[in-house]
Amino acid sequence: GSITVNKVPSLDVALVGETVTYTYVVRNNGSVTLSNIVAVDDKLGNISLPFTTLIPGQETFGIASATVQAGDLPGPLVNTVIVTGTPPVGPDVSASAQASVALVNAGISLVKTVALDGANPACGATSTITVAPGAVVAYCYTVTNTGDVTLISQSLTDDQLGEIFAARAFTLAPGQSISNIELGVPATATINAETTNVATWTAQTADMGGVQAASGASDAQLLRVITVQATATATVQIDPNLLPPTALDESSEPARMQHIYLPLLER
């Protein structure tokens, strides 16, 4: 008897937190029926097969998934499956297949600060400030490439200010930081009420077949574009002591002067 197995991962390149699904194809490649077919993956354990007896030329399929963990870095993620089957006569037959998934540590962090417009330095030191009503503030968004792969496309949106910039071509190497101020794209707002807004920075790796990871076994050309995101929040409060006076409502106004007339009595 003869048996074969093929193992195909759903991703050629994966990030920490992504799920890789493996498809196993087991085939009776011999001329006799095989029974008691078992598939065991050295990382995922026993693989469930819908059919454990195969006639000559018949196939069966199995599926198993694994989530990439930080401990798997730098990769690659390699695992092997072994299948065995029992022919009517003679010893068991077996076959194995291996799959390799390149791992990429891609990620960014984002810091959002706020200061009065025109302040020096332009990027404030805090994410919360208190201002007078009508003040103009400038937001500073600073992103850092925390991964080991170069990012070449940058986009920034703010839930209050909208799109700051989109698909801006700027190469951000591993460990490098850049802000919207350095990119020449200021973001200001006039504040008349307390405001909290959330920014999202999105970055992408190079197009297909482009960039190599910076270190480790991930030094394989990326076979897909990888997108990473980070968010950050800033709050601008209004100083209550600087609020303009407000008119009193009728219930709070002082009572108007009333005149009381008394009758004149003669003696």
> Do 97 and 166 lie in a common domain?
no
Query: What's the pLDDT at 205?
Result: 86
Domain of 171, CATH number, reads 2.60.40.10
Q: What DSSP letter does each residue of 173-218 carry, written as one string?
A: -TT-EEETTTTT--EEEEESS-EEEEEEEEEE--STT-PBPSSGGG
Sole residue written with tokens 């190469």: 171
In a domain, 259, yes or no: no
User: Rounded to whole angstroms, how far apart are CA atoms 99 and 44?
Assistant: 12
Cα angle, residue 191 at apex, residues 188 and 197 outer, rounded to 5°: 70
Low-confidence ranges of the chain (pLDDT < 70): 207-223, 243-267
The span from the first CA to the last CA of the chain, in angstroms, equals: 141
- Looking at the DSSP assignment, which residues form a beta bridge with residue 227? 204
In a domain, 262, yes or no: no
Query: What's the pLDDT at 263?
Result: 65
pLDDT digits (tens, 9 = 90+) for 111-145: 999 999 998 888 989 999 999 999 999 999 999 99
Sequence-ordered list of residues with C-beta below 8 angstroms from that of 175, at least 6 positions apart, any chain = 144, 145, 146
> Do 28 and 143 lie in a common domain?
no
> Do 117 and 95 lie in a common domain?
no
In a domain, 47, yes or no: yes
Phi-psi region of 134 (alpha: psi -120 to 50; beta: other; left: phi over 0): left
pLDDT digits (tens, 9 = 90+) for 43-67: 999 999 999 999 999 999 999 999 9
Q: Quote the number of domains for the chain.
A: 2
DSSP state of 34: B
Q: Residue 88 belongs to what domain range? A: 3-103
Query: What's the pLDDT at 216?
Result: 35
> Do 113 and 200 lie in a common domain?
yes
Query: What's the pLDDT at 35?
Result: 98
What SS3 class is residue 259?
Answer: coil
> Do 136 and 98 lie in a common domain?
no
Query: What's the pLDDT at 242?
Result: 75
